[in-house]
Every structure is written in structure tokens, then in C-alpha cells.
Amino acid sequence: MTETNTMPTIALVDDDRNILTSVSIALEAEGYKVETYTDGASALDGLLARPPQLAIFDIKMPRMDGMELLRRLRQKSDMPVIFLTSKDEEIDELFGLKMGADDFITKPFSQRLLVERVRAVLRRAAGREAAAAAGATAPKPGAAQLARSLERGQLVMDQERHTCTWKGEPVTLTVTEFLILHSLAQRPGVVKSRDALMDAAYDEQVYVDDRTIDSHIKRLRKKFKMVDTDFDMIETLYGVGYRFREAA
């Protein structure tokens, strides 16, 4: 990662002081400035008074939980937010993402994974700001802007807005899920190995094993089946990889 003179500030909100300490050490070791809060109520005041470049919220906290904190924050700010959660319920993740969270990390997690997710979300936020700045000066939407939207049959993915729809219905994806699906859908019928999907979704320096990619694929299928029970566009070729089915 290319360093800048001023590294981003990250706000960490969690009532577990052990997590505050360990995560702060990991992020500060990467050069980030970290501000910590032990509950949502005090965090809201601090986030609005001194906006960081990214915030990390635990979901279960006293006084004000992470969901409510995000809801109130979104009334005044669109800063990137990553949720930490010990829950593994799809409804919580979908609800949080629809409210405007950028990613989820389930406890327990490795510090390395957290740092890489932080980097990915910060890169996406920087790209979004750059696109917004370019859009403000562009006279009209042209071919280059239209190319940011990928359509494959009933699938529509908008890279700039980070939106995905299937048969006109929204499908809420995390950053990693979006990148994996986009890589598959770019070339329907072409098999992508797990290594290729890792390269599409993670930095070159990051190692993730096959099970991580398989888990992302499983969650992608589950999310699309919530919209369409007959969804079968992501095919598995055992021992080889995955591909997006060509339209009939």
C-alpha cells in the first residue's frame, strides 16, 4: 500500500476493552491513527465532532448498540463503517448493510484480516470520492461512465454505486462478495479458479485459503436465493473453480 503523509484516522467503538486494545495496536502498527469509544452514545458525539476516515462498530453495546449508532450516523454522515459481530445470522448482516454498513467481520477474527478489510474499504471510499469529483466536472454521462455498469441477463451490477440487482430486485453484497461476483460475471462461461477469485477480491499480499472463497460463494448463492429460489447462475466445477452460467 502506498503511504501518504497523513494516514487515515479510524474510530473503533466496542465495549470490550481487550478488543479495543488489540485492534488499536494492530491498526497503529500499520500507521493508522485510532480513536476509541466504549459505547455508541459517546461515540456518536465524537464521530460527528471529529469525523474519521473510517469507523469500526461492535453491534452489541450498552446505551446504544451498533445498529442504532449507524442509523443515527447515516442521518448526517456517509463515512465508511465496518461492523464487528459475534452473530452469524443473515438477517443482521442484511439489515446492517441496507442501513449503510460497508462490510461485516465476524468474531473471532484475525488482526490481519481486519487490517486488509480496512484497507479495502478505505480504497473503495477513496475511489467513490474520486468518481464523485470527476462526475461533478463531467458534462454528460458518456461511454466510460456507462461501462461501470455490468449487465448479464437478469444481473445488473453498478460499480460506482456498489449496487447489484437480480430480476430488478436489490441484492445487498459486501465489498468482497461484489468483487468476486463481478469477476465471475465479466466472462460468463469462463471458469475462474479460486486463486483468480482471490486476486480479484484481495490484495496480492493477502493470503486466504480455499475455504474462504468457498464461504463467499456460499453466501452469494444464499443471498440470491433469498430473492429468487431458482437462482443457479454460479456453477461449481469441482477441483477447478467457479463460473457464471451463460444465458440460455
Going from N- to C-terminal start, the domains of the chain cover 9-129, 145-244
167-191 per-position pLDDT tens digit: 999 998 877 888 899 999 999 999 9
Specify the pLDDT at position 4: 43
Identify the CATH class of 145-244: mainly alpha
Kindly report the three-state secondary structure assignment for every residue of 31-71.
CCEEEEECCHHHHHHHHHHCCCCEEEEECCCCCCCHHHHHH
pTM of the model as a whole = 0.62
Summarised one tens digit per residue, pLDDT across range 95-152 is 666 677 888 888 888 888 899 889 888 887 776 666 556 555 554 444 344 446 889 9
pLDDT digits (tens, 9 = 90+) for 234-245: 999 988 899 999
Do 9-129 and 145-244 show the same overall fold? no
Percent of the chain whose pLDDT exceeds 70 = 80
Which of 58-67, 135-144, 152-161 shows the lowest per-residue confidence on average (mean pLDDT)? 135-144
The dihedrals phi and psi of 112, each to the nearest 5 degrees, come to -65, -45
- What is the SS3 assignment for 110-174? CHHHHHHHHHHHHHHHHHHHHHHHHHHHCCCCCHHHHCCEEEECCEEEECCCCEEEECCEECCCC
Q: Which residue has the higher pLDDT, 35 or 135?
A: 35
In this prediction, residue 125 carries a pLDDT of 78
Distance separating alpha carbons of residues 9 and 125, to the nearest angstrom:
13
The conformation of residue 7, written as its DSSP 8-state character, comes to: P
Find out whether 64 and 41 touch, Cβ atoms under 8 Å: yes
Give whichever of 24-38, 74-88, 167-181, 183-197 has the largest mean pLDDT.
24-38
Question: Using CB atoms within 10 A of its CB, is residue 34 exposed (0-12), middle (13-18) or buried (19+)?
Answer: middle
Task: Check residue 33 and give its pLDDT.
Answer: 96
Give the SS3 label for residue 77: coil
Determine whether domain 9-129 maps to CATH 1.10.1060.10: no
Residue whose C-alpha cell reads 493477502 in the numeric block: 206
Contact by Cβ (8 Å): 100, 11: no
pLDDT for 104? 82
> Does residue 32 carry a pLDDT above 70?
yes
